Every structure is written in structure tokens, then in C-alpha cells.
Chain A
Amino acid sequence: MDEQLKSELRRQGVVATSLQELYNWGRKSSIWPLNFGLACCAIEMIATTMARYDLARFGAEVFRPSPRQADLMIVAGTVTKKMAPQVVRLYNQMAEPKYVISMGACAISGGPFKQGYNVLKGIDRYIPVDVFIPGCPPRPEALLDAFLMLQRKIDEQQLTGPARPRHLQAEQPSEFSVPQYSEHDLVPTRNDAVWHAPLVNISNAGTNESGRD
């Protein structure tokens, strides 16, 4: 529909919309996050829901303790190898459509604790992530920004065609394999269906040359 006509009609008190817009508007305005904190970032996440930053303005203050009722998992903090299977299992238990915000340096890559033997080097090795927020911990404003980014992402989704999101494609998986504890490490150490090592030429690392080709 012509945008100009639409705004003209709106001024007359007539709201014209498409099913896709209505559907996306409904979903983006009521993202219910999972009540799920891991570490330091969780405190900033709680601060975001409190009176000062007031996440309720974006329709997302209803933190659900059960993954069955939640749309969004905020991975707020360091994911240890001991915790990683539980995180993946919680993600699998969430109903589609579901989104993941990877909050803070630890959830992205292991952050300052990257060299720890029990620290997972990024939750995106096991589950797909929609928005990454850098910071240690990110400020509440950064989390709000990630929220708005996720809302834009939902707003742009097509309901039909090849570019439609995962939950509308029957052949796409909605569950991912849960890693198992083993004698020295998790098995497997990554899910190759989700994560590929980025193209980095390690032989250039440590020199002034850029690591990327």
C-alpha cells in the first residue's frame, strides 16, 4: 500500500495495515523474556526492569520463569561448560518464535574469563543468537538498545517467501543438540550446524597485518 495514502488515511482516523505488519507489531510489542540470569550481567538486566530504566515501556517487563511461556532468552553472563547443556536445553524448551540476546562479553566469547578451562567461548557455539551486546557488563541502556534492535528485526520479517524466518519454515530445526559432559570437556565442543569458525588467518595474528583476509 502506498505509504502516503496510508498516512493520509491515518489522519482521517482510518488505520490501514497488512496482516504481516499487524502480526509483526503484535509480536514485537510483547516480547516476554525468560527470567534467566547467569552472572554479573543479570544484575544489570534486573536493573533494566526496575523503575529507573523501565523495560515495561517496550512491552517486555513480563519475565517468565518457565521457558514454555517465554519468547526471548537473554543470556546474561558467563556460560560455563557445566551450565552450557542447561542453557541449550532451556532454549530447546522455548516455543517458536524465539529469540536470543547474548548479553555481555562473556556470553559473546567468554570475555575476560575466556582462558578459563570451564568457560564456554561464546553461547553462539550451540544456539543461534539474534543480537549481541558488548560490554562488561553492558549498561541498562545497552540492553534497551538491543531490545529495540530485536524489535526492528522482528518488524522486518517476511511472512512469505524464501526469506521468511525460521519458525515459519517447517524444515528448519527449532531444537539444537545438547552437549554432553565428558572426561575433559564438553562433547561436542561446538555445534557445526550453528557455528562456524570465522575466516581468520591465524598466521597473520600477532603481526601488524590484519588477521582477516
Chain B
Amino acid sequence: MSVLTEVSIDTISQPANDHLHGDLLEISMGPHHPSTHGVFRMNIVLDGERVVKLKPVFGYLHRNHEKIAEHETYLGSMPYTDRLDYICSITNNWAYALAVEKLAGIPVPERAEYLRVITGELTRLQNHAGLIGFLLQDMGASGTPLMYAFREREKILDLFEALTGARMMCNYMRFGGCRRDLPSGWMEHAQKVVDGFPRFLDEFERLLRTNEILMARTQGVGIVTREQAINAGISGPMARASGVNYDLRKVDKYGIYDRFSFRVPLGEHGDVYDRYMMRLLEMRESLDILKQAMRDLPSGPIMDPNTKIRNFRPKAGEAYGRIESPKGELGFYLISDGGPNPYRYRVRPPSLINLTLLEQMCLGHNVSDVVIILGSVDIVLGEVDR
């Protein structure tokens, strides 16, 4: 079975006698384009409105994270991970901390694990809320859904700021725990935000779940089948929208995710609508996890007391650690040569790999559909290009 779809411009035949048929049009969409979610570029060949070829061009935000990390200490790279997927800094911290903990064999105290789950799931909430806002903006619902989404996002950012000191670049995790314990009153505030969140979801779903325009624009658009998704390494909500039952919170059970009961929503069609619904449903499950974690939060230390912060030199060896970030499987692959800096530091970016099938998803659709297909993949260029 060959899974490669090769479209070459020479092989696209044009009907010779059809005088209504115009020439093919080549356009470059991006790197400056309001709907590419950053500095992403696609070279598109159009036949009328129809896409016949699409080649993504990367690297406009390639800021050499991996090379810089080879010159930094292990801890020194932690603030840089914030700026990978800059919407979800805490889950990036978590993935990196997890990989180093695997590399050096560092245990994490129970309270820190709970704090990681709480902050991680809050991150997922604000990422998904923002994403559906942006996706609807791309569909032409100009302004309003995004305003609603950002209203909720700001509430969560306030929690982050109270806990970590920064709205976006939280830099919260450390190897063997978390940086700071909850300030007083934080839990009550967080409880309010979590309790109020379903209202936003209900409102959003009532407005847009069965909206006719939304359904017409998204259903049957940008389909990825289950087999294609697995072979192309698609992960996260996008894979689950295609029916791949693979959530690392269930598979790897990293941290303490085996203690919570939650469901993994699965899609059937793998189109834009399923990917949109996947985010809405995942937010409900995240709220479930949050409720359980906030109820059960134990007291105790938040850092493993034996962890060395300074002069941290793991033994020579390597480790691959991964978590279920809001975008998909975020992995860190570290090779240590016994020195204070990693010998090789690799980020497995879910956003980049989820774009593998972009051309295939867009072929045959209108150029306006390209925008929403790209929007439904949920990319952040900081992570795509690193």
C-alpha cells in the first residue's frame, strides 16, 4: 500500500478543447496572511477556486531552539520550552521535565504531580477555547466567537499569573517537581473559573454546534481516514477525530493520570467538523479531570529534595519522554554525554507532523476551505519551526 500521493503540476491535464477552462493559477499564501496562524506559507496551485496542488513552506519562525539548547544547561532550556508552543507553555515545560526525569531517574512528589495535572488541564482548556475561536474567525464569524473565547482565556491566564508570575511564559515545572506552591486563595479562584467554564461551553455549543453555515462549511471537508492518520503520525485531537483511539494520558499514564476517570472522545469522519467537536468535547473531559484533581489535591512537598538544581549532570545515556499536549504528542528526545548541557536535544513537534497530510486534505477543495482545514489542524508556528 503506497500512502504517498504525488501531484506534479505537469501531470495535471487540462481539457484541450474546453475554452471555458482557464489557466492554472499559482499563489503564495503567507508568510504574511491573516489566516495562517503565524508565519506559515503555502504555495498553492489553483484551477479556478479548486486546489490542485499545495506545498507548505516552513522555517519563517525557525529560531534555532535545538541548537541553542545544546549550549545551555538542562535547566537553562526550560524557559525556551515556554516559547515553543507559546499558547501552552505549561504543557511544554511538563514534557521537557518528564524527559529529563526519565533521563536522570528523578521521582516527583505526589502534590507536584497533582499541580502538574491541574495546570496542564487548565492549559488545555485555554488552548482549545482559543483554537475554536480562531477556527470560527477563519470561517468568517468575525470577532464575536474569538472575543468569547478570549474572555475565558483571560480568566485562566489570571490564574497562571497568580501562580507563576507570567501570563503566557509560565516556566513553571522543574525537574522533580514544580517551581512554586499555590498562593493563598488560588484554589478558590480556580474553583470559580472551573465551575463557570461549562456555562461558556453550553453557550458556545448552543450557538454553533448545529449552526447550518458551520455544518455546511465543515462537514466532509478535509477528511483524514484512520489508516492515513496513523501512518502519517498524526496525534492528539486530530488523530482522535479520525477515530484513532490513542490518548497518551490513557496509554502512557504518565504522571498520575491513571487516578482520574475521564473519557476519550472519538470522531468518525475525520473532517473539520469532527476536529472542531473534538475540542469542545475534550474541554468537558478536562473539566472532569480538573474537578477530581482539585478535590484530591494532597499536601506535601512540591519538589523532590534530592534533585540538584545547580551542576545538574545526568549520566551518559538517552531518553525519549512524551506527553499529550493540547496539540498532540509532544516529545523530547535527549542525549546526554555526562556533561552539564545536553549533547542532543530534540523536540518532537506535534504541530509540524500534523501538517504532513495538509496537501492531501486540501486537494479538490476551494481555497477558502484551505483556511479552515489549516485552522482545524491547530498549529502554532513556534512549535512547527522551533
Contacts and interface: CB of A to CB of B under 8 A. Distances in A.
Q: Do chains A and B touch in the complex (CB under 8 A)?
A: yes
Interface of A: 35-40, 42-44, 46-47, 50-52, 63, 65, 67, 77-78, 80, 82-83, 86, 90, 106, 112-113, 115-119, 136-137, 139
B151 A52 contact: yes
Interface string B139-155: 00000001100110110
B117 to A, nearest CB: 24
A82 B59 contact: yes
B39 interface: yes
Most buried by A among B65, B67, B381: B381
B31 A83 contact: yes
A117 B67 contact: yes
7 contacts: A38-B38, A38-B61, A39-B86, A47-B150, A52-B154, A82-B62, A139-B167
Contact of A80 (B63, B83, B147, B167): B63
Contacts of A136: 169
A36 B31 CA distance: 10
Interface string B11-49: 000000000000000000001111000110000000000
Given A80-B61, A112-B80, A118-B62, A43 B87 contact: yes
Contacts of A118: 59, 62-64
Nearest to B137: A46
A80 B62 contact: yes
A80 B309 CA distance: 32
A137 B168 contact: yes
Given A50-B150, A115-B71, 13 more contacts: A38-B61, A39-B38, A39-B63, A44-B168, A47-B150, A47-B153, A50-B151, A51-B147, A52-B151, A80-B63, A112-B80, A115-B64, A117-B67
A137 B39 CA distance: 17
A117 B64 contact: yes
Given A80-B59, A119-B64, A65 B147 contact: no
Given A50-B147, A83-B60, A116 B167 contact: no
Contact of B83 (A38, A50, A82, A112): A112
B61 A115 contact: no
B382 interface: yes
Given A65-B34, A86-B60, A115-B71, A43 B168 contact: yes
A86 B32 contact: yes
A51 B150 contact: yes
